[in-house]
Amino acid sequence: MTYQFFATCPKSLEGLLFQELTDLGATDLRETVAGVYFSGDIRLAYKVNLWSRLANKILLPLDTFPVSSQEELYEGVRKLPWQEHISPSGSLLIDFVGSNDAIRNTQFGAMKIKDAIVDCLRDFSGSRPSIAKRDPDLRVNARLSKNNLIISIDLSGDSLHRRGYRLKQGIAPLKENLAAGILLRAGWPQIAKEGGALLDPMCGSGTFLIEAALIAADIAPGLARASFGFERWLNHQNDIWLELRDEAHQRKKLGLANMHLPEIRGYDADLSVIRAAEENIVTAELDHWLRVSRKEVGEFKKPTHKQLNSGLILTNPPYGERLGDIESLKILYAHLGERLRNEFQGWQAAIFTGNPELGKQMGLRADKKYKFFNGTIASELLTFSIDQDAFVKSRVEQDERFSVDDNKRQAAEEKVKEAIQQEREQALTPGAQMLANRLLKNKKQLDKWLKANQISCYRLYDADMPEYSAAIDVYVGQTQPGQPETIYAHVQEYAAPKSVDEEKAAARFQEITLAVPYVLNIPQSQISYKQRRRNKGKTQYEKVQETPTGDLFSVHEGISKLHINLWQYLDTGLFLDHRPVRKLIAEQAKDKRFLNLFCYTASASVHAAMNAARYTVSVDMSNTYLNWAKKNFALNGLSESKNRLVQMDCLQWLEENDQLFDLILLDPPSFSNSKRMDDVLDIQRDHVDLIHKSMRALDEKGILIFSNNLRSFELDAAALTAYNIDNISAKTIDEDFKRNSKIHQCWIIRH
């Protein structure tokens, strides 16, 4: 006997479901919103329930009739032969969707249908079925639309996306059928047939991985389900069902016996969701084939245990549900794109996101974009071929594709640059020339050391000549991943004493602005000029200058990348004099619990995390700096699940803390009277109490690194005799700060 069925599915999967039903043998197909009508026998209905990777429900419509009143609803349902579908002693559940002027409430609509079915069966047999909220003998689906009611037998029971393997889940998991649809759109079946691998760098609870394995191994997605809605339906034909299920078991056995199953691996920074993924994989009986491990996005690269020449990178990154997340997520997507370009050329990639604008940060041109709905969230699947043609070139890179005429143009441009440089040199005043000579001398002295230690951010000049009282720092960085590095300069003019004539001070400052671009051969737009003043309260966080070239660029320090902002705040986000301290932390960090107090932009925490710290905790009162820290973590592909940021007064946090750490950095400001603090912090007065509280958080075998920049500071050793204290200040002053050896002081403190 041939029936007409209706398969429901998430919006946007209708076309894929149409093709899937066709492949399963359905006929008379008609696609509609969130579903597909099709025809076939009862065997086909069972087969679709067992094998559909995309459907939510398989419904058997019994009747369609108009409903303009409660009475019409009741009578239309009551006249149907319910005794053919459910025993009078059975249990019943009604799913009602929709409303109109007569039926305004789905609960009321479900109640009227229940009354009609119960009355029909009572008249037939003298007894009535019970109502079950779970596991009913018969589930009835009623959909009221445009004053017409479609009433159907639900042959599936629970939604088919519930395969039975996902016992645990992470945050905002994808439904299994949506994950399967994404895999189909990304071309996974063909990639798997060709032996390609599948890797998910942010796998969550493992849904993509398991669905990919089910596809590759020819495993029916419904095989692990406990039950289906048709199994207690009075028209159920159990012999057909058992035959189909046995066939599916045989196909699974053959699929898993295939020695050429593709490599499928998942990674996530959150250990708890990795544990959830492991349990789900075991429940799906795929633990011999799938592997997951805890790994940051920053560590994502091609596995080396076997040769993998091609495959699919598929992932569902976060897309920014909370205000303030977007900026750090832009960096995360850019970092992911960089990993793909550097590690996976020749592979395919697919990114599923609820915020397609973030996909533009990846530096890859999408081949195709597919519209999806993740629940009610409009989303896109962006697919990429990872090759040079897909790389989004910067303007500079595009301009480097020279023809013969372009080479002539380049030569002409070089001549212009030389002419400009000559003009700059001629424009130098005697004072500017004298300063330029000192800068060139310093640069020459530092060059060999900078190259040997791969240092790209350094102090070039620090008031070496009293009449030019300024600090000049050089930063070499990128505004976007993949772009050429650019030289920037940060000039901080120290405030002139009151005894110095203002006009003379202004003239000397003007000579600095002539000498710096001349020596570094860069335009003024790449130089930030500031005058340092002692600030109070929140003014140290206020913007001091709008940037002509963008707020942020990134620099390398060791294996870490860090964001720099030369223009908007007094400080740049990176204290260059603490470079050796960060290096020390990186050397000590492996497998350590790291605490960063007064963390600023958490650059030290990034170094610890990038050098295999067990986890990091970074505490600061400034939301500005903590948001900056988020961007630093994202730039390195580091998640906040393992690198916690805490907005709090460090003294209060230490009072409430009950954790122990192996490595602590205590680098407080010299003075702070922030409104967020209950009291004023004076490091000379308060350092003993601060050290005592920090040492309570230090493990017996751990080390505390205490540093500050107060030039007049004196450590109260007599009050700290309980500890072993080693003054390492001299060891933490690099070559570029030896002209100013009092820039900071630093100690290692142990129990």
In degrees and rounded to multiples of 5, residue 24 shows phi and psi of: -85, -5
Q: Which residues touch 407 (CB under 8 Å, ≥6 apart)?
A: none
Q: How large is the average pLDDT for residues 4-17?
A: 96
Q: What is the CATH number of domain 575-751?
A: 3.40.50.150
Q: Which two tokens stand for residue 622?
A: 């400034």
Q: Which residues touch 506 (CB under 8 Å, ≥6 apart)?
A: none
Classified by CATH at the fold level, domain 176-224+251-390 comes out as Rossmann fold (3.40.50)
In this predicted model, what pLDDT tens digit does every residue of 225-276 receive, in sequence order?
Answer: 989 999 999 999 999 999 999 999 999 999 998 767 899 999 998 888 899 9
Q: How large is the average pLDDT for residues 62-73?
A: 95
Looking at this protein, which amino acid is placed at residue 135? D
Q: Which two tokens stand for residue 661?
A: 């750490």
- Domain span(s) for CATH 3.40.50.150 in the chain: 176-224+251-390, 575-751
- Assign 3-state DSSP to the chain and report helix, strand, coil percentages, each to 5: 40, 25, 35
Q: How large is the average pLDDT for residues 694-711?
A: 96
pLDDT at res. 651 = 92
**665 by DSSP, 3-state: which?**
strand
pLDDT surpassing 70 at residue 368: yes
Distances (CA, A) of 47 to 24, 189, 247, 352: 8, 20, 11, 29
pLDDT at res. 562 = 95
pLDDT at res. 415 = 53
In this predicted model, what pLDDT tens digit does every residue of 107-128 receive, in sequence order?
Answer: 999 999 999 999 999 998 888 8
Within 611-682, residue ranges assigned H as helices are 623-635, 650-656
Q: Which residues touch 46 (CB under 8 Å, ≥6 apart)?
A: 230, 240, 241, 244
Strand segments, DSSP code E, in 436-576 are 457-462, 470-477, 486-494, 527-532, 553-557, 560-564
**669/62 Cα distance (integer angstroms):** 76
**453/458 Cα distance (integer angstroms):** 11
Q: Is the Cβ–Cβ distance between 432 and 516 less than 8 Å? A: no
**364/427 Cα distance (integer angstroms):** 44
For residue 579, how many other CB atoms are within 10 A of its CB? 23
Residue 377 or residue 745, greater confidence: 745
**727/706 Cα distance (integer angstroms):** 10
Q: Which two tokens stand for residue 233?
A: 């339906």
Q: Is the Cβ–Cβ distance between 564 and 476 less than 8 Å? A: no
Q: Which two tokens stand for residue 37?
A: 């009508």
Q: What is the enclosing helix (H) or strand (E) of 194? A: none
In this predicted model, what pLDDT tens digit does every residue of 503-536 receive, in sequence order?
Answer: 787 888 889 999 999 999 998 889 999 865 444 4
**380 by DSSP, 3-state: which?**
strand
In this predicted model, what pLDDT tens digit does every residue of 601-610 receive, in sequence order?
Answer: 999 999 999 9
Within 493-588, residue ranges assigned H as helices are 502-520, 579-588
Bridge partner residues of 63 (DSSP): 151
| Domain 428-571: homologous superfamily in CATH | RNA methyltransferase domain (HRMD) like (3.30.750.80)
| Among candidate residues 506, 50, 2, the one with its CA nearest the CA of residue 244 | 50
Q: What is the mean pLDDT of the chain?
A: 88
- Domain span(s) for CATH 3.30.2130.30 in the chain: 3-154
In this predicted model, what pLDDT tens digit does every residue of 449-479 receive, in sequence order?
Answer: 999 999 999 999 999 998 899 999 999 998 8
Mutual angle of helices 502-520 and 430-452, in 10-degree steps: 50
- Domain span(s) for CATH 3.30.750.80 in the chain: 428-571
* Core vs surface per residue 502-531: b (16+ CB within 10 A) or e: eeebeebbebbebbbbbbbebeeebbbbbe
Q: Which of 100-114, 401-415, 656-670 has the lowest mean pLDDT?
A: 401-415
In this predicted model, what pLDDT tens digit does every residue of 334-366 receive, in sequence order?
Answer: 889 989 998 999 999 999 998 888 888 888 899
Structure pTM? 0.75
pLDDT at res. 236 = 96
**464/240 Cα distance (integer angstroms):** 91
Q: What is the enclosing helix (H) or strand (E) of 150? A: strand 148-154
Q: How large is the average pLDDT for residues 441-450?
A: 96
**396/231 Cα distance (integer angstroms):** 66
Question: Within a 13 Å sphere around the CA of 379, how many CA atoms are in the beta-carbon half?
Answer: 25
| Among candidate residues 212, 379, 386, 204, the one with its CA nearest the CA of residue 297 | 204
Q: What is the CATH number of domain 3-154?
A: 3.30.2130.30
**95/519 Cα distance (integer angstroms):** 77
For residue 747, how many other CB atoms are within 10 A of its CB? 21
Q: What angle do CA 570, 576, 578 make, to 5 degrees?
A: 115
Interstrand relation of 553-557 and 527-532 (parallel, antiparallel or unpaired): unpaired
For residue 338, how many other CB atoms are within 10 A of its CB? 20
**135/59 Cα distance (integer angstroms):** 17
Q: Which two tokens stand for residue 66?
A: 């108009």
Q: What is the enclosing helix (H) or strand (E) of 266? A: strand 264-268
Strand segments, DSSP code E, in 507-582 are 527-532, 553-557, 560-564
Q: Is the Cβ–Cβ distance between 45 and 5 less than 8 Å? A: yes
The band of 699, judged by pLDDT with boundaries at 50, 70 and 90, is very high
Residue 736 carries which DSSP code? G
Q: Which of 624-633, 634-643, 730-739 has the lowest mean pLDDT?
A: 634-643
**77/63 Cα distance (integer angstroms):** 9
Looking at this protein, which amino acid is placed at residue 480? Q
**275/287 Cα distance (integer angstroms):** 13
In this predicted model, what pLDDT tens digit does every residue of 715-736 receive, in sequence order?
Answer: 999 999 999 999 999 999 999 9
